[in-house]
Structure 1
Amino acid sequence: MTILLQVPTTSASAVADSTANAANGAATVTQSLGLFDLVAKGGWVMVPIAFLFFATLYLIIERLILIRKQSHIDEGFVDNVKDMLLQGNIKSAESFCKNQRNAVGRVFEKAVGRVGVASNKEIEGTIETVGQIEIARMERNLGYLGVIAGIAPMLGFIGTISGIIRIFYDISLSDNISVGIIAGGLYEKMITSGGGLIVGVIAYTGYHLLNMNIERFTLKLEMAAFDFMEVLQKPTETARVR
């Protein structure tokens, strides 16, 4: 009776230990599957995708800082320029614009410099030309974001397809169709598709958000130019300026 009672006790203990070990093993596997492990399992395709990711972050941050700095217009800037022109202080107005050290200041510096020596039509053309140059400077390197938005997902798909081809090639050599082998290899190769799509979405979003900021600046510049030209087109005020 003593032996019979001890056997189930030992068996239950072994089952409990086995269950605990399995749970600990599963927890260990789950904990070890981190972000860097997933990236490493993606293969060589993750190297160019990682490069595109860091390039995307750099371009977005660099352009965002520049656009915000160059598109800033101080409140009352145009009014101050108009007052100086109405008082005949063309040199003061030109210096005031130069001290702004941004895109709007450079645009109006060129325009003010032509007051009194060029017609209103020519001054308006100067504002338009210099404004286009400043906008082109803001848009510099934005095209790379558009390219990355298209290339990164395709790189991810290339990595996935090449991985799937490799999986089925290995199956054909071993004649062993195992769900574990297929699923294990397939999830690793799908990482490249996920990584490429993430980079593509970031680049696509950054590209359009930066363009939206440039469009807002363009609108503010057009409004400021309209107010500036309105002063020059008034006969009495134009006479004072000249």
Structure 2
Amino acid sequence: MIRKSNVIHGLSTLFAPLALSSFVSAQDPAAAAAPAPTENWLVDMFQNAGTIGYLIVALSIVALALAIELFMSIKREKLAPPDVIDELEALFEEEQFQEAMDLCESNRNYLTNVVQAGLAKLGHQFETIQTAVKEMEEEETVKLFQRISWLSLITASAPMLGLLGTVSGMFVTFGEIARAGGSVQPSDLAGGIKIALVTTIFGLCVALPTGAFFFMFRNRVVRTTIEMNAIAEDLFERFRPKNT
């Protein structure tokens, strides 16, 4: 009998919460019938982004397009195609410098621009050739850094626009408080607060990945230009005077 009573007590303890919840639901049909929120939070964010939020979204599209373009163009295969390198090395070995100049003019890229600058100084002292090559290397490197600098600008601008949206959203909120006086309702403040929060989120979401892209491409530019400069300087090393 004792074991049976223990089993009954255990079952009653197990099902008591279920019975209680059923009782509460029966007493409060409105709570039981309340549907789960179905509004998409992302759609809600875009609807409350405001003009500044839409400007940040436009910046994100520009940043994505730039990242794709830079990913496709800033790489060794584009800045110095392997077949062009092989052909230049062969022409230098055969001392066909005019043909090498023509090749550089017909294939414009980082390496050929540097080599062409050196070829234009043939007949001068080696130091003059070397200076022309290094000056063109610096010029071409600056061009690459100028291209990726737009990502840096967007990285800095996006959170500043987000901060501007935050300030404007709080301005709207305090304006509602001033108009409503002492009878302000939470719903009256929701619009301004949403703008403040959404623009802040948008600004950070654009700045963080764009900054990562900028540093990735900066490192790629540094690494690739070092490789290209070494190739170009090696081609002209044959003109260095031999020590006697």
Equivalence for 1:215: 222
**2:135 counterpart (107, 129, 133):** 129
Cα offset, 1:202, TM superposition:
2.9
**1:39 counterpart (32, 46, 52):** 46
The reply to whether residue 173 of structure 1 matches residue 179 of structure 2 is yes
Equivalence for 2:37: 27
Deviations 1:170-211 (A, max 9, x none): 234331465666567534420110101112223322222222
Q: Secondary structure at the match of 1:27?
A: coil
Q: Take 1:165 and 1:225, find their aligned partners in 2: how far apart are those partners? A: 59
Cα offset, 1:165, TM superposition:
3.0
What are the residue-to-residue correspondences of 1:1-242 with 2, within 5 Å?
15-16=28-29, 18-22=30-34, 24=35, 26-28=36-38, 32-68=39-75, 70-74=78-82, 77=85, 81-115=88-122, 117-174=123-180, 175-176=182-183, 186-233=193-240, 235=242
Q: State the TM-score, normalizing by the size of structure 2.
A: 0.74
8 Å contact kept, 1:146–1:207:
yes
Q: State the TM-score, normalizing by the size of structure 1.
A: 0.74
Q: What amino acid maps onto 2:33 in structure 1?
A: N
8 Å contact kept, 1:82–1:231:
no
Q: Take 2:234 and 2:141, find their aligned partners in 1: how far apart are those partners? A: 20
Q: Take 2:53 and 2:132, find their aligned partners in 1: how far apart are those partners? A: 48
Q: Take 2:185 and 2:44, find their aligned partners in 1: how far apart are those partners? A: 23
CA 1:83–1:71 in 2, change beyond 3 Å: closer, same or farther?
A: closer
Q: Take 2:131 and 2:102, find their aligned partners in 1: how far apart are those partners? A: 21
In structure 1, the gaps of 5 or more residues are: 1-8, 237-242
8 Å contact kept, 1:163–1:186:
yes
Q: What amino acid maps onto 1:74 in structure 2?
A: P
Structural RMSD (CA): 3.2
Indicate the percent of aligned positions where both proteins have the same amino acid: 21
